[in-house]
Amino acid sequence: MQPMQLSLSAALLAASCLCPGNAHGVVRMAVQDAPAPVGPNTAGPNAAALDSVWTAEQEWLQAIRRGDAMALRTILSSDHIHVGSNGRLRHKTEMLLALQRGQLRFLTYDIGSYDIRITGTAAIVTGTYHTQLVRQGVRGISAGRYIRVWVRDERGWRLMVHQIAETTLPRGKKAP
């Protein structure tokens, strides 16, 4: 090899070692701590799957904002679990009953950021949220991070797991 070719080869080898990726040469984009809410992904081989998860997320969000237990009955998987910021675990039936009985009501529910990852028939959605809610008659604010795990079945995406972690403590007062 001539000196110029050797220098170019060495530079390419060094650059490839500095790029994030794996042994197979697949370059992965760096994951931001809090990606901006940009809507559904419009590019790449998973675009259709990402769009369908985004649609499921929006359907869940609208149903939770309305307190629509009938819609949530379809959206949540049969073995759905929710883990609240206090560590309390609720199964699908408990969550739906709390909404139906008015023990839990969302006045607002906003997503600040999100990231969707799909692997096979599962999708993992992480992000930040902010909500105003009434829980057991006490009005509060909850803000923090969430993770939702969606599973795809013959009917589409179903929410199997939802866990939140508050980054600020809610201050409650009796709801009107």
Mean pLDDT by 10 residues, the chain (176 residues): 41 34 34 45 71 96 96 98 93 95 94 93 96 92 96 96 83 52
Instruction: Please give the tally of structural domains in the chain.
Output: 1
Residue 20, in any domain of the structure = no
Tell me the sheet residues that pair with 142.
131
Asked whether residue 21 is assigned to any structural domain, the reply reads no
Q: Which DSSP category does 58 fall into?
A: H
User: Is residue 33 a part of any domain in this protein?
Assistant: no
C-beta separation of 171 from 152 below 8 A: no
Is residue 32 domain-resident?
A: no
Does residue 104 lie within any of the structural domains?
A: yes
SS3 content of the chain, % helix, strand, coil (to 5): 30, 40, 30
- Note whether 127 and 111 are within 8 A (CB): yes
pTM tops 0.85? no
Residue-wise pLDDT tens digits, 93-132: 999 999 999 999 999 999 999 999 999 999 999 999 999 9
Provide the CATH number for the domain around residue 71. Answer: 3.10.450.50
Question: Residue 133 belongs to what domain range?
Answer: 41-174
